[in-house]
Structure 1
Amino acid sequence: MAVIWNPAIRKFVAVSVRNLTFRTVLGFGVCRETADPKIVKITCKDDREDVESVVEVFTLSSRAWRNPGTNLPRKTIKLGLFGSQVVDGCLYWLATDRITTDGGFSFSNIIISFDMTSEEFREVNLPDDLSRLRGTKLSLSKVRESLVVVEDVGHGVEAIWMMDDGVSKSFTKLFTVNFNTPPAQVRRFRGFRKTGEPIIEVVQHNLHGQLVVY
């Protein structure tokens, strides 16, 4: 079950989301032309090498689920399970692409976008340094209305990369955040303020979390 809530008019709609599995990915956004809210559901049938995805879109105006068409992610692409971001009318997910090589196969990180108006998927390639990292080292966020990739460099350091106008492989490294500052024990990146400043959750020795601006 999903709930679409409009705080401006204080009304909500409950949406039945069936056949959820551990490989189901959800996203929510609004069509820029019609202002129609949509839920996107992507399910991998199984974990075979060639992953076949099933895509369904729920539109609030129709109160129904439907298949958007034949423009689906390639079978070798598997979407990540750690949430999506909405930027400029498009949904974005991190994903991995299985690449066949002479010695077998390798994996490359990639970003998959879904246009909420045209309902078409597109691939956004990452810079080589990011595409080769383990997928768990990356996450998506946004600064103002720009998509960013957060890279876990290690030892409490994270690098922030911003996509340049939706161009594949065109990412600019904005800055690096060093969480290794006393007296906090645990630090987690939580997002950005509208001004672009990073928001970090800091857990002190008393285990009480606190949000701070870096």
Structure 2
Amino acid sequence: MIEYLPCEVVLDILSRLPVTSLLHSNLVCKAWHNLVQDPLLVCMQFSRTIDHDPCLIFHCDYPIQNQLFSLELSALSKDVQRVNKIRVPVLPEFEVLGSCKGLLCLCDSSAKDIVYVYNPFTRDYIELPKSTELLHQNPVFGFGFNQTTSQYKVVKAVYQKLPFRRCGLHHYYGGLISLQAEVQILTLGSPAWRNLEKLPYHLHQGPSQVSVCGRLHWRSWPRQFRSGCLIISFDLEDEQFREVPKPDCDGLDRPNFHLLDLGGCLSATIYDTYGQFEIWIMKEYNVKESWIKEFNIGNHVPRSLEEMDWNSAAQPFRDSKLYRKSSFVRILCLLKNGDILLLYKGRALVTYDRKDGTFKDLTFPGLPSWFEAVVHEGSLQWID
């Protein structure tokens, strides 16, 4: 009877489905195939993503490179929820730099100046123009969306490894890296990168991208002769870097915290050596006094990690670049039911009930053995 319904009613019904269900609807019949391609449906579906939990994109590079999988978090209450494999285009070995408004930003693992923007559900992607090549570069990336102009932007801060005889250097993991960064930015659709003013901060490429209030955020490394780390933001509209006030908390002066977006608020997670951590949340953006310590989360070891023989099972994965940058525990996002979703050692997903302080280990058919998880808003929009 659906063919007798007005088109706008059918579009409204379909727009309430998760993106993976829309992909399945695309195969029902020719009429539905045409509907799923309708730009109005794409916009309606994406506008409703704020009402639902996002999806997770799992990136695996061992034993096979460039593997991506997806999981709909909005369907966690279902008895059976599968992880779906994504058909990835033929690309060089890549790293996932960030996710924003339905698109992923990828870069070539070996040639950091080759950057792609990719929709994992439409398999649509573009290779961005190459930026100015700098020898011995150590880039930090950001990927965001300007709501005012409806434009995607890629930011690249490049730090050069300089000879030991130069002055004004910062000692970092056995090498000398310039304190100032050459900053370049590309607006999607533009033919070339633009140069911005040099950045006098050494940014840290965190485990996840943090985009809050139209700004991208990074933690800085401690500077010579100055104590403490800083929180640095980049405004996607006026393209200016600024310092964001931190709370009066000793943990945020040491480089053992990560920034994250928790329920639309800029937040910081401070870890200790025993897997415990506390979460600070800035309730009102850019107001120092609005920082509060919201949670203290205790130590937890998922059953899959307790039962695992690390000598035999983890040894092959140590060849993966994802293993080297994975921490023991990382917060992924805040779910709509109030639970916090956690990732343990690139292997186990766990929810934390902040009401009663309990943990729940999650298992899904098709979940890869080792992975890096990216919180993603699924969309069927085309890059052009």
TM interval, short-chain normalised? 0.7 to 0.9
- Residue equivalent to 2:253: 132
Runs of 5+ consecutive residues of structure 1 not aligned to the other structure: 100-104
- For residue 156 of structure 1, report the CA deviation from its aligned partner: 1.6
Deviations 1:28-50 (A, max 9, x none): 00111111111000012346147
Deviations 1:115-136 (A, max 9, x none): 1111111101322323422x1x
The 5 A counterparts of 1:48-197 are 48-49=169-170, 51-68=179-196, 70=197, 72-73=198-199, 75=200, 77-83=201-207, 84-98=209-223, 105-128=225-248, 129-133=250-254, 135=255, 137-167=256-286, 169-170=288-289, 171-180=291-300, 183=303, 184-185=305-306, 188-195=329-336, 196-197=338-339
The amino acid of 1:44's aligned partner reads Y
The amino acid of 1:88's aligned partner reads C
- Write the distance in 2 (CA, Å) between the matches of 1:98 and 1:188: 27
- Write the distance in 1 (CA, Å) between the matches of 2:333 and 2:141: 22
- Residue equivalent to 2:127: 14
- Larger proportion of strand: 1
Q: Could you tell which deviates more after superposition, 111-120 or 83-92?
A: 83-92
> Are 1:40 and 2:155 an aligned pair?
yes
The amino acid of 2:153's aligned partner reads K
Q: Could you tell which deviates more after superposition, 147-156 or 2-11?
A: 2-11
Identity of aligned residues (%): 27
- Residue equivalent to 1:26: 141
Contact (CA 8 Å) 1:94, 1:140: kept in 2 or not? yes
Q: SS of the residue aligned with 2:227?
A: strand
Cα 1:201–1:9, aligned 2, differ >3 Å: closer, same or farther?
Answer: closer
The amino acid of 2:342's aligned partner reads I
Cα 1:210–1:153, aligned 2, differ >3 Å: closer, same or farther?
Answer: closer
- Write the distance in 2 (CA, Å) between the matches of 1:39 and 1:182: 36
TM-score, normalised by the number of residues in structure 2: 0.47
- Write the distance in 2 (CA, Å) between the matches of 1:107 and 1:146: 26
Q: Could you tell which deviates more after superposition, 151-160 or 77-86?
A: 77-86
- For residue 161 of structure 1, report the CA deviation from its aligned partner: 0.8
The amino acid of 1:165's aligned partner reads E
How many residues matched? 199
Q: Could you tell which deviates more after superposition, 167-176 or 24-33?
A: 167-176
Deviations 1:188-210 (A, max 9, x none): 2241133252212347xxxx933
Cα 1:6–1:209, aligned 2, differ >3 Å: closer, same or farther?
Answer: closer
By relative contact order (CA 8 Å, sep 6+), the higher-ranking structure is 2
Alignment match of 1:199 (pick from 327, 341, 349) = 341
Runs of 5+ consecutive residues of structure 2 not aligned to the other structure: 1-113, 163-168, 171-177, 309-327, 353-384
Cα 1:150–1:17, aligned 2, differ >3 Å: closer, same or farther?
Answer: farther
TM-score, normalised by the number of residues in structure 1: 0.79
- Residue equivalent to 1:102: none
- Larger proportion of helix: 2
